[in-house]
Amino acid sequence: MLKKIQSWSVHLFTALGALAGFLSLEAVFANNILMSFLWLAVAFLIDGIDGAFARKVNVKENLPQIDGSTLDNVVDYLNYVFIPASIIYWFDLVAPEFKLFTVTLILVASCYTFSNLNLKTKDNFFNGFPALWNLVVFYLYILESSKQVNLLLIVFFLVMTFVPVKYVHPLRVKKWKKLTIFMTFIWSIDCVFLLLELADPKNQFLSYKVLYFWTWIFTTVYFLYLSVIRSITSKY
């Protein structure tokens, strides 16, 4: 009985990601992009740790009638695709004449991603761009790139959805796992400071921007490095 309660609790925890997504979407409609990103960060955190909880309590064995992967995909499509697409549309990250077209491509291409049975490799890399539109939108907004550059980058990632290039999973990669998790932690802390800067451009941590901005860039390059190495060789 206790194991079933624990397993249901894990599924409920995963489902709370949908609530975070709803609150993020509410913030979009309220023109509050900071709160939208904060709630997406909460959803990202839930998605990052719920799998560990599920494996710890062995939810598949205790609740075989519930498909945790399906539940996870439903919540992830909301937070990784639908809401970021809404941000692109609502906050005019691309030119108005391209907004609907861009959002349509993102929504449709991501359906392919979430239905692709070969999305993950045996060593826990993603095979093709894994519809991380929440991160794409965050980078575009933080870097303040132009609408033209944004459109080009979005089209690039749309194309990469169908190209079998490998992308690192920051928490489940097998080799260099401890270092990669550490880099993910540093990246996350940097994102917090960047969000604080969005909230208050004159906040007390601004004097450290050189540190947190460039470590953010450095960790990003690290993830890209692992992805490139894994893409060109079966070992890295």
**Residue 150 and residue 105 share a domain:** yes
**Residue 139 and residue 172 share a domain:** no
CATH number of the domain residue 129 falls in: 1.20.120
Q: Which of 164, 187, 213 is the last residue of a domain?
A: 164
Q: Which of 146, 164, 182 is the last residue of a domain?
A: 164
CA dihedral over 43, 48, 49, 50, signed as positive or negative: positive
**Residue 159 and residue 44 share a domain:** yes
**Residue 213 and residue 107 share a domain:** no
Question: pLDDT by residue for the chain (236 residues), tens digit each?
Answer: 778 888 898 899 999 999 999 999 999 999 999 999 999 999 999 998 988 888 888 888 888 888 888 999 999 999 999 999 999 999 999 999 999 999 999 999 999 999 999 898 888 899 999 999 999 999 999 999 999 999 999 999 999 999 989 999 888 888 888 999 999 999 999 999 998 888 787 777 777 788 999 999 999 999 999 999 988 886 55
Tell me what pLDDT residue 234 has: 61
Owning domain of residue 104: 2-164
Crossing angle (nearest 10°) for helices 147-160 and 96-115: 20
**Residue 64 and residue 122 share a domain:** yes
**Residue 137 and residue 179 share a domain:** no
Tell me what pLDDT residue 235 has: 56
Tell me what pLDDT residue 175 has: 81
**Residue 181 and residue 99 share a domain:** no
**Residue 171 and residue 135 share a domain:** no
Beta strand segments in the chain, E: 125-127, 166-168
**Residue 191 and residue 97 share a domain:** no
Q: Which of 121, 143, 164 is the last residue of a domain?
A: 164
Q: Which residues contact 207 (CB under 8 A, 6 or more apart)?
A: none
Total number of domains constituting the chain:
2
Alpha helices, H only, 91-132: 96-115
Residue in this structure with the two tokens 């609790």, named with its chain if needed: 9
**Residue 147 and residue 91 share a domain:** yes
Q: Residue 201 — φ and ψ, nearest 5°?
A: -60, -15
Count H helices and E strands in the chain, helices first: 10, 2
> What's the gap between Cα 191 and its chain centre?
12
Tell me what pLDDT residue 197 has: 87
**Residue 172 and residue 72 share a domain:** no
**Residue 156 and residue 112 share a domain:** yes
Q: Which long-range contacts (CB under 8 A, 24 or more apart) does 175-179 make?
A: 175/123, 175/236, 176/226
